Amino acid sequence: MDVKKKEYNREKSVNQFVLMIMTVIDSFLFFGYINDYRQGHIEFGFMISVVLAVLSSLAVSYGVFLKKRDTGAFKHVSMVGYMVVYALALFGARNDLVFVMVFPLTLIYILYYDYKMILRIAAGFGAINVADLIYAVAVLKHMHSGSEWNSASVLLQGASVIVYLVVLCGTTKLSNQNNDMRIANVSEEKEKSARLLQDVLEVVSVVRQNSEDAEDFIQILSQNIASAASALGDISAGNSSNTENIGKQTVMTENIQNMILKTREMSDEMLELSRQSAEAVKNGQNSADDLHRQSEKTREANEQVVVSVNGLIENAGAVEEITEQIFNISSQTNLLALNASIESARAGEAGRGFAVVAEEIRMLADESRKLTEMIQKIVSEIKQNADAARYTVDHVMEVTHEERRLIRSTEQQFSSIGEKMDGLDQNVQEIYHKIDEIFTSNQVIVDSINQISAVSQEVFASTQQAVELGEDASRQAEQVRDCMKELKRTVASVEQYRAEG
């Protein structure tokens, strides 16, 4: 229900209750004065004037109310009509207590929260009573009941009405000021909390992007204070409703306070986890640096192995060339020794000794050739092994190069993670500070609500004084006393609810 609808219902309820009370009072006056006339207590002309005034006032009031139930004109029309009836009844009364008719209806007009109108009501009824006292003292020279002029009765009427009207004005003014002040305080704190919560939600949105999912902040504070009740008996219900709403507001703010405390604990855990993660990233980066340095050492050692293997291959090639030359020389020596043996055989007995030497040379040359072939085979195997070793070392170099590339990539990833962790840590710290601000603001709201509760009690005390004054004035104010007793019982129940809250 929007604000306009609430205001419409409030004005309608107050107007309806005022009309009901006015109808009851005017009905008593209508039938009472007719009965007094039938019994001969009053004259016919006075009875007719009062009856016509009552009927006219009711007719105009009902017409205005039925035309538009929430109209602001009703309170003015109804009060003017009641003033006319009150003045006629007071000036023509045969009873000294008729002046108490001012109490029940005027008290209800507090529900309109219209201080200027209350001042006009006080001025009007005060003037009527002063004029009546002057009329009784100066013109009638006796009391309305016919008894002799009594200063105590005159003082009682004047003091009761004047004090009541002063208290009525003061109570209305204090009530309006307190309502305006508490609404302004609560609205200001709600707006501040809303702004702080909006800031926190924006920060949480950033954290959610960096840490997958963050705690959702829920809730915005929003409760409206109930309007004043629609009847005299509802004055107590209105104060009870305000106190009950304040109690609910207190419970909600305490719940929010607990949620903020839990969120702050989670923020502490997030901050600690962020710091631990940053430390782990730093350790990982240091390990990657150590691995990079070790990889450099491995690369340098592999380069030395490559140099050594290349030298081995070159030396093996040189040995192979030398053995090839030895093999050729051995082959030539063997061929020469064979030719020498043939020539020595042709020489006969004279060349026999040379043949023996030539044979030995041939055998040695043949043995040298075999050894040379074995050396060539060994050298060939050495070259093959060296080639295989060089291939293996080349492969190791490639793997080492890839390892260094991966290490550099790991270092870059650790560096990027470190930067993101720094950003995450800053966001978590900002959330922590924002939560502290919300905690402080919510505490201010709790204090304001407690102050509002105290002010409500002061308004209740002021209203109670006004009603007690009416009770002391006359037994016709019994209905008001009953309402105030009901108000006391209701407030006692409200205090019990506050204690439980």
pLDDT at 236: 56
Average pLDDT over residues 473-495: 67
Other CB atoms closer than 10 Å to residue 90's CB: what's the count? 22
Q: What is the DSSP string of 211-262?
A: HS--PPPP-----PPPPPPSSSTHHHHHHHHHHHHHHHHHHHHHHHHHHHHH
Instruction: Indicate if 42 and 190 belong to the same structural domain.
Output: yes
pLDDT score of 370 more than 70: yes
Average pLDDT over residues 270-280: 76
Average pLDDT over residues 477-482: 65
pLDDT score of 457 more than 80: no
| pLDDT top residue among 409 and 193 | 409
Task: Please name the helix (run of DSSP H) or strand (run of DSSP E) that holds residue 421, with its range, or none.
Answer: helix 352-473
Average pLDDT over residues 85-97: 82
Residue 417 maps to a domain: yes
Residue 91 maps to a domain: yes
pLDDT at 52: 92
Instruction: Indicate if 395 and 284 belong to the same structural domain.
Output: yes
Q: How confident is the model at residue 438 (pLDDT cuts 50, 70, 90)?
A: confident
| pLDDT top residue among 81 and 200 | 81
pLDDT at 40: 83
pLDDT at 3: 66
pLDDT score of 59 more than 80: yes
Instruction: For residue 71, give the 3-state DSSP assignment.
Output: coil
Phi, psi of 97 (to 5 degrees): -105, 10
Final residue belonging to a domain, choices 172, 203, 234: 203
Looking from the CA of 215 toward its CB, the CA atoms found within 13 Å total 19
Is the overall model pTM greater than 0.95, yes or no? no
Contact in structure between 40 and 23 (CB atoms under 8 Å): no
Final residue belonging to a domain, choices 374, 404, 432: 432
Q: How confident is the model at residue 466 (pLDDT cuts 50, 70, 90)?
A: low
| pLDDT top residue among 253 and 114 | 114
- Output the domain CATH number for residue 318: 1.10.287.950
Residue 378 maps to a domain: yes
| pLDDT top residue among 157 and 241 | 157
Instruction: Indicate if 167 and 291 belong to the same structural domain.
Output: no
Over residues 7-33, the pLDDT tens digits come to 788 888 888 888 898 899 889 888 988
Residue 327 maps to a domain: yes
Instruction: Indicate if 283 and 194 belong to the same structural domain.
Output: no
Residue 244 maps to a domain: no
Average pLDDT over residues 77-101: 84
Instruction: Indicate if 183 and 290 belong to the same structural domain.
Output: no
**Tokens 């340098």 belong to residue:** 300
Residue 421 maps to a domain: yes
Average pLDDT over residues 308-328: 81
* Domain hosting residue 427, numbered range: 277-432
Over residues 105-132, the pLDDT tens digits come to 788 888 888 888 899 998 988 898 888 8
Residue 245 maps to a domain: no
Contact in structure between 453 and 246 (CB atoms under 8 Å): yes
pLDDT at 254: 76
Mean pLDDT score across all residues of the chain: 77
Using alpha carbons, list the distances in angstroms from residue 382 to 326, 378, 386.
19, 6, 6
Q: 42: closest CA among 91, 103, 81, 82?
A: 91
Task: Report the number of distinct structural domains present in the chain.
Answer: 2
**What is the rounded CA–CA span in Å between residue 430 and residue 438?**
12
Q: How confident is the model at residue 228 (pLDDT cuts 50, 70, 90)?
A: very low
Contact in structure between 170 and 433 (CB atoms under 8 Å): no
Final residue belonging to a domain, choices 432, 450, 476: 432
Q: How confident is the model at residue 184 (pLDDT cuts 50, 70, 90)?
A: confident
Residue 47 maps to a domain: yes
Instruction: Indicate if 134 and 36 belong to the same structural domain.
Output: yes
Residue 306 makes CB contacts below 8 A (sequence gap 6+) with 390, 393, 394, 397
Instruction: Indicate if 290 and 195 belong to the same structural domain.
Output: no
Instruction: Indicate if 287 and 415 belong to the same structural domain.
Output: yes
Over residues 324-358, the pLDDT tens digits come to 888 788 788 888 877 877 877 787 777 777 677 77
pLDDT at 207: 44
pLDDT at 456: 62
**Percentage, residues of the chain above pLDDT 70:** 79
Contact in structure between 280 and 424 (CB atoms under 8 Å): no
pLDDT at 235: 55
Contact in structure between 354 and 284 (CB atoms under 8 Å): no
Instruction: Indicate if 23 and 118 belong to the same structural domain.
Output: yes
pLDDT at 62: 92
pLDDT at 191: 76
Instruction: Indicate if 180 and 325 belong to the same structural domain.
Output: no
pLDDT score of 229 more than 60: no
pLDDT at 398: 84
